[in-house]
Each structure stands twice: as structure tokens, then as C-alpha cells.
Amino acid sequence: MQSARGTLLVLPALTAIALLYALPLARSLITAFRSNDGSWTTEHLARAFSLYGRDVLFSIGVVSASLVLITVISISIAGYLVLGTTPWAVRLLRWLYRWPLFIPFVVSGQLARSFLSTNGMMNGVLVETGLLAAANAQSFLDWRGLVLTFAWKQTPFVTLLLAGAMAAIDRSHIEAARNMGAGRLRCLFNILLPQAAPTLWVGLILSLVAMLSVLSVPLMLIAGNPTMMTSMMAHRITYYGDYGIANALGLFSYALTAVTAWVYLRLTLRREANP
Amino acid sequence: MKASTLLTQIGLGLMLGIVAFIVFGPLLNLAMWAFAEQWFYPNRFPTDWGFAFWERVFRPRAGAWVSLFNTIIVALLAVLLSMALAIPAGYALARQALPARNVIMLLFLLPQAFPNLPIFVNIAAIFYQWGLNGTLLGVVLVHSLPGLVYAVWIATATFATVDRSLEEAARNLGASPLRSFKDITLPQALPGLLAASIFVFLDSIDEFTGTFFVGAPEITTLPLLMFNASMGGNYQVAAITALILLIPSVGFMLIIERFLKADVLSRIGR
């Protein structure tokens, strides 16, 4: 009786998820393997790879570079927030780093378009401070712009999670290590980071999913080829109405996420097996 | 000793200055574009400032008003729909012994765990058959997918924090299940549910991909207007629209910490 009523309460939401998620998901998986005459085929996959293999590699490259950048910066910021000894600097940094978190992806695309262009503020400041000769100023609106924009947008998110995990670690561990003469950098890499690593992984995987989902930023930043898989999927749909190849590309992005999630699960299981 | 601390302070100041430039530089550059009437290469700053483009954007019958109206209507309807589905579901998931509860929770996690572009593409293809493409209802539905996911997770976590004994006391005093839910459970869960609504609202306002495939070109929301202006090379209009888009995001995020309490956050995903 109880569970019947509970099921009844969940049913509308479940129906909505089935119609808005499970059905399109099934359609995307099936269409990727269906030829026009209705028989099963792997032709879409092969054609997607031969047509867009460079874009797939480009996407993997951009996403990996962004993840590396995000990891390095978020560890530095989160580490300083937890171990920093200058109160005003810690407070200021805590207030500063969060801002891009609140900014939508479309808007960050537009921010990058003006900030990273040849005449943008980044080049302006580099030239004014003498770090760059005016003649060498160039537009960063290519793969570098994509990496910088993704990192700018996602670093605060990963930092927020990581700093939270680090702050939850027992302070006495750090103090004991500090008393034994360990430097702050050693505390960060030998005590804080190993314990907070699972949270870092979750943040990175969610960022990977976000970067592989965003359509607006690659459309706005990259004009030609190669570009991100998302751009090519949209291109295939809008110009050719070709769902087979678009969904085959979608399959690649699922596979990429699945592989990363699998690596994470393996690492977690191994950690739990021998702590 | 004194000199070295001074040096550390200066170094820290310099580093934070660089961080501040990286964070706020792009925003400042955007704001400059919003008020630039003339800005040609290689001028470092606009040569002419003014509000001319603001007038163009907000002229009566200009596209911006329609887009703004669409954006708000869609966001409000997406909140209504998501919450109407999520409140009963969240209550049942938090309170009642459901068969396959973990599978259901996982099902509500999947949409956020994998890239969603293929989903939107195929929703558009399905909606096309159902005649929902280019309609307000279609856009509301596509915005409710990510909304529903957030709403169910936050609602479940919120109902889990509500003190059960008060409900039981009300039931013992003869209140009907519906009455005890309305008078006891709902008021206590309100802050978390409000937070969920805000998340859904913000997510809908910023949503681009779903609207791009399902709504365009009939239904234009602010993100699409901004995108089209930017791709058309009209940086001023794009910058002004982007600034408008920033207001709710930044504003709501500053107050959301009041609604989403730590005890709710710690229960998300349980």
C-alpha cells in the first residue's frame, strides 16, 4: 500500500524523464546504427570517423588541455585557500575566484570573443605592459581560445568542490605535519590532495561532460575546421538533416565520457581495496 | 625579516591582481562594448561612447522585448512544470520505501552524467513529428529536462531533512496525510524547494542548445538573440544582451546561499 502510493507519486516525474530523456537517448543510439533502408549498419560510424576523425581528435585535445589547466589552477587556488597564512589574501581570493561560476556559457563565449581578439583587452594589456610587441598581437580565437574559455568557466566549479573537500579534512593532520617541519607545498601534495582526490575527479568528469555538451562556445569561437564534435553534430543536422552521422558523433562523445568515468571507478575501487 | 614580509605582501598583491584581471578583464571588456558607439582597430578604447545601441535594443517592437518576454515566460513555466513533478517525486523518494529506489535516483542522474547535445538533437527530431518544434510548449518541455533533474535531487534532499516526528504528531492528532503535508512538511521544506526553483529558473534563462534545436527560429530567447547578434558581428547588441543575462545569474547566486542550507547540501545524492 505504502509503496504503491509512493510509486504513484514518482510516476509523473518518471514518465517525463522517459519521454524527455530515455526516448531521445534510445533514438540517438538506434539511429547511429540504422541505415536509410532500415537495416542495421556500422556505416555511419565509419563515415563519421573518416569525415570527422580530425574533429574528434581536436575535441579530445582541447578537452584534455582544458582539464590539465583546470586541474593545475584549481589545486593552486584550493591549496592556497586552505593553507594560506595571509588572511586578507585568502579572503580576497575566496571572493574573486567564484565569479565565472555564475556566468552562462553563451555569455562566456561572447566574453572570449571580445577579450581574446586581436584588438581585445588581453592583447591590449600585454602590449601596454611591454610583454608583447604590438606587431605580434594576434587573435587567440582558435583552439587556444577554446581551452582558455573552458578553463575560465569551469575552474571555479572544480575549485569550489576541491576547496570544500580540503577544508573538511582533519586539520590536525596538517598541523602534525607542519610541526614535523613539512613545508606547505608538501602538506598540499602529500596530505590534502590524496584525500581530496576523489572530489577532484568528480569535478573533472562533470567538467568534461559540460565541455562535450556545449554548443555555443565552439560555434562562436571557431570558424573553420577542425572544430569540436558538438559543432559538427549541429552542422550535420542543420545543413544535411543527417541524423545517422550526427548520432554516430554523439556516440563518440558518450564513449569518451564513459571511458573517463570507468578510469575513475577503477581508481576508486583500487583505493577502497587497499586504503 | 620585515623586508621579506613586505616583499611577500607585494608578491601576493601582484598575484591577486593578475587573478582579478583574468576574472574581471573579460567582463570589463564586455561592458566597454556595451557602451561603445564607435570602436575600430587599432584603437585601444572606443572612440565614441554612448547609449545609442541601448536605445536600438530596447526600441518598442525590437526583438529584445519579445526575447526577454519569451525567456521569462519559458523559465517560469519550466519552474512550474519541474516543481509540480519533482515535489511528489522527491517526497516519495525521501520518505517511502520504493522498489528500485536506487535505480530511479540513477535515472534522474544520467541526464547530467553524459553529454546532452545528442539528447537535444533527438528531442528536436521527436518534437518535429509531434508538431512541438517552434512552439512555446516545446521550448518549455526541453528546458524542463535539466530542470527536472536538479529539482528532483534537491527536493529529495530537502524532504529528507524535514523532521519526521512533527508529521507523525500531526497524524496522531487526526490530521489527514494531505493536511499534514501541507501544514507541516511543506513549510519546513520551503527554503530548499525555493532554492530548487531558483536553480531551474536560472538554468532555463541561460539555456542555449535545446532552444537552438527546438525553438529556433520561431521562438527566440535572450541567449539566442545574443548568439545571433554576436555571429552577425554586432558586438554592441551582443554585449548589451549578455549584460542583461548576467543580472539574474549573479543576483540570484548571491542570495542562494541563504536558501540552500548546508544540511540540505550534505544530503544531496543520498
B224 shares its domain with B140: yes
Residue B256: helix, strand or coil by DSSP?
A: helix
Q: For residue A237, what is the nearest residue in chain B, using CA coordinates?
A: B121
Residue type, A9: L
Say whether B145 and A110 touch across the interface (CB within 8 A): no
Confidence of residue B71 (pLDDT cuts 50, 70, 90): very high
Residue among B208, B214, B247 with most chain A CBs within 10 A, to mutate:
B208
Q: What is the mean pLDDT of residues B236-249?
A: 88
Which of A13, A21, A103 lies at the smallest CB-CB distance from B110?
A21
B235 and A CB contact within 8 Å: yes
3-state SS, one letter per residue, for A123-134: HHHHHHCCCCCH
Residue with cell 535572450: B222
Report the run of H or E that residue A109 belongs to, with start and end. helix A105-115
Q: Judge if B41 and B123 occupy the same domain.
A: no
The domain boundary residue, chosen from B11, B30, B50: B50
**Longest CA pairwise span in chain A (Å):** 77
- Band of residue B256 on the pLDDT scale cut at 50, 70, 90: low
Give CA–CA dist A127/A204, Å, rounded: 34
Does B55 map to a domain?
no
Which cell numbers in the block locate residue A76? 593552486
Q: Which of A21, A114, A253 sits opposite B115 (nearest CB)?
A: A253
CA A249 to CA A55: how far, in whole Å? 10
Q: Is residue B107 part of a domain?
A: yes
Contact A9 B9 (CB under 8 A): no
Is residue B172 situated within a structural domain?
Answer: yes
How high is the pLDDT of residue A60? Answer: 94
Could you give the CA distance from residue B39 to residue B45 in angstroms, rounded to a whole number? 7
| Neighbour tally for B175: CB within 10 Å | 16
Residue B149 lies in a domain: yes
What's residue A155's pLDDT? 95
Cβ contacts (< 8 Å) between B212 and chain A: which residues? Answer: 215-216, 234
Residue A274: left if φ>0, alpha if ψ -120 to 50, beta else—which one? beta
CATH of the domain at B114: 1.10.3720.10
Q: Domain check: are B19 and B119 in the same one?
A: no
Q: What is the pTM of this model?
A: 0.88
Asked if B38 and B110 sit in the same domain, the reply is: no
Q: Determine, yes or no, domain membership for B57.
A: no
B24 confidence band (pLDDT: 50, 70, 90) = very high
Burial of A160: CB neighbours in 10 Å, binned 0-12, 13-18, 19+: middle
Mean pLDDT of A227-255: 90
- Is the complex ipTM higher than 0.90? no
Name which residue leads in pLDDT, B60 or A81. A81
Residue A122 has pLDDT above 80, yes or no: yes
Asked, for residue B140, whether it belongs to a domain, the answer is yes
Domains (ranges, CATH) in chain A?
1-32 (no CATH), 42-273 (1.10.3720.10)
Residues 204-233 in B contacting A (C-alpha not used; CB under 8 Å): 205-206, 208-209, 212-213, 223, 226-227, 230-231
Instruction: Verify that B45 and B160 share a domain, yes or no.
Output: no
Closest alpha carbon within chain A to B145? A20
Where in the sequence is the domain holding B113, given as residue range(s)? 62-265
Cell of residue A233, nine digits? 553534430
Number of helices and strands (H, E) in chain A?
A: 13, 0
SS3 of A219, please?
helix
A126-162, pLDDT tens digit by residue? 888 888 887 778 888 889 999 999 999 999 999 998 9
Residues B22 and B120 in one domain: no
Residue range A76-109, pLDDT digits in tens: 999 999 888 888 999 899 888 988 888 889 999 9
Is there a single domain that holds both residue B30 and residue B106?
Answer: no
User: Are the C-beta atoms of A188 and A77 separated by less than 8 Å?
Assistant: no
Claim to verify: residue B136 and residue B30 sit in the same structural domain: no
pLDDT tens digit sequence for A125-135: 888 888 888 77
The answer on pLDDT for A14 being more than 80 is yes
CB distance from B44 to chain A under 8 Å? yes
Q: Assess whether B11 and B136 both reside in one domain.
A: no
Mean pLDDT of B95-109: 82
Same-domain check for residues B33 and B167:
no
| Domain assignment present for B234 | yes
**pLDDT, tens digit (0-9, with 9 covering 90-100), for A60-77:** 999 999 999 999 999 999
Same domain, B213 and B86: yes
Which residues make beta-bridge pairs with A34?
A40
| Number of structural domains chain B divides into | 2
CA distance B36 to chain A (A): 12
